[in-house]
Chains A and B, each alone.
Chain A
Amino acid sequence: MARTLAWGAIGFVCLCGAGARAGAEPGQDLQRLDWDQPVLCVEDPAGKRWRVQCAQAPEGLTPRCLLAPDATGDGGPLQRVQYCESQGREGWERLHAQGATLAPALAEAPPGWHRDLQGRVFQVTFDLLQRFQLGAQWSPAFGFDPQRLSLGRARFEMALVASWLEASERSRHTLRALEGQVAILDLTSRGLLFAYDLDRSADEPFLRLTTFFGPPARHDLYLDLGWGLRLLGVGYRPHRAEALDLEVVELHASWDLWQSADLWSHVRLETGLGAAALFELGPAGRERWALVPGVALEGRFGLDPAGHHLLESRLAWQMPVWLQEPALGATHTRATASAAYELIVLALNDQPLSLRVEAAGSWRDDLGPGVSRWDLTAGVGLRFSFWAPARVLEPLPPARAD
Chain B
Amino acid sequence: MRKLLPCLLLLALGSPARAGDVAVDERGRSLRVAFDPASVVRLGVLGGAEHAGAFEGALELELGVAYRTVEPAGEGAEGVSWTLEHRFAWTRLRPLQPAAGGAPALDATAYAGGFMRHSAEPSLTLPGSPPRRVFFPFDIGVECELGRLQLRPLEEGLERLEVGVARAGVALDPWRAGRPGNDLRLVLGVRYDVELTGQPGLADAQARHRLAPFTAAWARFRWQDEPGLTALEVLADAFPHWSPGPGWDVGAEARARVERVLVALDDQPLALVAEAGWTHRPAGPGGREAEEEVRLLLGLALSFQLRGPR
CB–CB B29/A220 < 8 A: yes
A217 to B32, CA, bound (A): 10
The residues of B that contact A187 with a CB separation of less than 8 Å are: none
A56 to B33, CA, bound (A): 53
Q: Mark B20-48, 1 if CB is under 8 A from A, else 0.
A: 00010101110111000000000000000
Q: Mark A194-215, 1 if CB is under 8 A from B, else 0.
A: 0000000000000111111100
B70 close to chain A: CB less than 8 A: no
Closest chain A CB from B271 CB (angstroms): 10
Closest chain B CB from A211 CB (angstroms): 5
CB–CB B261/A212 < 8 A: yes
The residues of B that contact A220 with a CB separation of less than 8 Å are: 29
Q: Which of B29, B261, B267 has the most CB of A within 10 A?
A: B29
Q: Which of A58-85 contact B (CB under 8 A)?
A: none
CB–CB A211/B29 < 8 A: no
The residues of B that contact A401 with a CB separation of less than 8 Å are: 27-29
Query: Count the B residues whose beta carbon is within 8 Å of the partner chain — how many?
Result: 16
B290 close to chain A: CB less than 8 A: no
Closest chain A CB from B28 CB (angstroms): 8
A211 to B23, CA, bound (A): 13
CB–CB A216/B23 < 8 A: yes
CB–CB B263/A217 < 8 A: no
Q: Which residue of B lies closest to A216 (CB)?
A: B33
Q: Mark A209-249, 1 if CB is under 8 A from B, else 0.
A: 11111001110100000000000000000000000000000
The residues of A that contact B27 with a CB separation of less than 8 Å are: 401
The residues of A that contact B264 with a CB separation of less than 8 Å are: 208-210, 212
The residues of A that contact B28 with a CB separation of less than 8 Å are: 401
CB–CB A208/B263 < 8 A: no
Closest chain A CB from B37 CB (angstroms): 13
Query: Count the A residues whose beta carbon is within 8 Å of the partner chain — how many?
Result: 12
Closest chain A CB from B231 CB (angstroms): 13
The residues of A that contact B265 with a CB separation of less than 8 Å are: 207-209
A121 to B170, CA, bound (A): 93
CB–CB B263/A211 < 8 A: yes
B229 close to chain A: CB less than 8 A: yes
Q: Which residue of B lies closest to A206 (CB)?
A: B266
B96 close to chain A: CB less than 8 A: no
Closest chain A CB from B26 CB (angstroms): 10
A209 to B261, CA, bound (A): 12
The residues of A that contact B229 with a CB separation of less than 8 Å are: 212
B8 close to chain A: CB less than 8 A: no
CB–CB A209/B263 < 8 A: yes
The residues of B that contact A216 with a CB separation of less than 8 Å are: 23, 31, 33
Closest chain A CB from B228 CB (angstroms): 11
CB–CB B262/A208 < 8 A: no
The residues of A that contact B29 with a CB separation of less than 8 Å are: 218, 220, 401
Q: Which of B262-286 contact A (CB under 8 A)?
A: 262-267
A217 to B23, CA, bound (A): 10
The residues of B that contact A212 with a CB separation of less than 8 Å are: 33, 229, 261-264
A209 to B262, CA, bound (A): 10
Closest chain B CB from A148 CB (angstroms): 53
A236 to B32, CA, bound (A): 58
Q: Which residue of A lies closest to B230 (CB)?
A: A212
Q: Which residue of B lies closest to A220 (CB)?
A: B29
The residues of B that contact A217 with a CB separation of less than 8 Å are: 25, 31
A281 to B33, CA, bound (A): 67
A290 to B263, CA, bound (A): 44
CB–CB B25/A208 < 8 A: no
Closest chain B CB from A209 CB (angstroms): 6
CB–CB A208/B33 < 8 A: no
Q: Which residue of B lies closest to A213 (CB)?
A: B262
A216 to B67, CA, bound (A): 25
Q: Mark B245-269, 1 if CB is under 8 A from A, else 0.
A: 0000000000000000111111100
A176 to B33, CA, bound (A): 48
A22 to B261, CA, bound (A): 61
Q: Which residue of A lies closest to B30 (CB)?
A: A218
CB–CB A218/B25 < 8 A: yes
A141 to B136, CA, bound (A): 95
Q: Which residue of B lies closest to A205 (CB)?
A: B266
A62 to B160, CA, bound (A): 101
The residues of B that contact A207 with a CB separation of less than 8 Å are: 265-266
The residues of A that contact B32 with a CB separation of less than 8 Å are: 210
Q: Mark B44-73, 1 if CB is under 8 A from A, else 0.
A: 000000000000000000000000000000
A210 to B305, CA, bound (A): 15
Closest chain A CB from B262 CB (angstroms): 6
A207 to B29, CA, bound (A): 13
CB–CB B23/A208 < 8 A: no
Closest chain B CB from A400 CB (angstroms): 10
Assess A208 versus B31: contact at CB under 8 Å? Given A216-B23, A217-B25.
yes
A385 to B201, CA, bound (A): 77
Q: Which of A212, A217, A220, A401 has the most CB of B within 10 A?
A: A212
A215 to B32, CA, bound (A): 12
Closest chain B CB from A178 CB (angstroms): 44
The residues of B that contact A208 with a CB separation of less than 8 Å are: 31, 264-267
A401 to B29, CA, bound (A): 8
The residues of A that contact B262 with a CB separation of less than 8 Å are: 211-213
A314 to B75, CA, bound (A): 71
The residues of A that contact B266 with a CB separation of less than 8 Å are: 207-208
A205 to B170, CA, bound (A): 48
Closest chain A CB from B48 CB (angstroms): 24
Closest chain B CB from A347 CB (angstroms): 46
14 A–B pairs (Cβ distance < 8 Å), ordered by A: A207-B265, A209-B263, A210-B267, A212-B33, A212-B229, A212-B262, A212-B264, A216-B23, A217-B25, A218-B25, A218-B29, A220-B29, A401-B27, A401-B29
Known: A207-B266, A401-B28. 6 other contacts (CB 8 A): A208-B267, A209-B264, A209-B265, A212-B262, A216-B23, A218-B29
List chain B positions with a Cβ less than 8 A from chain A. Answer: 23, 25, 27-29, 31-33, 229, 261-267
Return the 4 tightest CB-CB contacts between A and B, nearest first.
A210-B264, A218-B31, A216-B33, A401-B27
